[in-house]
């Protein structure tokens, strides 16, 4: 059974999916990722002693801005009037884990906005701390959970 690709029209050209006829519903997506770094860089971020200033405050603002501009970055994404963006950081033994959640009342989901927010938060941490350690590794960016829309509720591991 072949599935029709939603972003390709009958002639094979790329298209933005028409969501105009869909009902507006509450939707939410959560994404996460991690940046690994040296113990010294991690300690400086925890202490607020990074050369460029408050690393996590800058990363949080960058993530929120990125979520709001996802449609400018990813082709065929719909521009969305986002209701909320939350960005959390957790210190781990070898780095920082970022979790971003995005919510909307709308006709399409916000998975890409949540993953964009997480990605930009991680890149901002790298930029703010690269003077401390250039060998940081960004990874594990993934959708953790989504709620709303036709596919309902989904959680990683389900």
Q: What phi and psi values does residue 46 have, to the nearest 5 degrees?
A: -60, -40
**Annotated active-site residue in 9, 94, 127, 158:** 127
Question: If we measure between CA atoms, which residue out of 67, 87, 68, 71 comes closest to residue 79?
Answer: 71
Q: Label residue 92 exposed, middle or buried (CB < 10 Å: 0-12, 13-18, 19+).
A: exposed
Confirm whether 127 is a catalytic residue.
yes
Q: How far apart are CA 143 and CA 145, in angstroms?
A: 6
| Distance from C-alpha of 141 to C-alpha of 33, rounded to nearest angstrom | 4
CA 59 – CA 100 distance, rounded (Å): 11
Active-site residue list: 127
């Amino acid at each position: 059974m072949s599935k029709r690709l939603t972003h390709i029209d009958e002639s094979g050209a790329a298209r933005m999916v028409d969501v105009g006829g869909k009902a507006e519903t509450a939707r939410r997506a959560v994404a996460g990722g991690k940046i690994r770094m040296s113990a010294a860089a991690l300690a400086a971020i925890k202490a607020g002693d990074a050369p460029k200033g408050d690393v996590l405050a800058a990363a949080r603002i960058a993530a929120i801005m990125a979520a709001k501009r996802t449609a400018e970055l990813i082709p065929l994404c719909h521009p969305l009037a986002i209701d909320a963006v939350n960005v959390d950081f957790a210190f781990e033994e070898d780095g920082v884990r970022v979790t971003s959640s995005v919510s909307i009342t709308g006709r399409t989901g916000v998975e890409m906005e949540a993953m964009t927010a997480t990605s930009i938060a991680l890149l901002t941490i790298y930029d703010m701390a690269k003077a401390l350690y250039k060998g940081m590794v960004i990874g594990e960016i993934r959708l953790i959970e989504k709620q709303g829309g036709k596919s309902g509720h989904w959680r990683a591991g389900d």
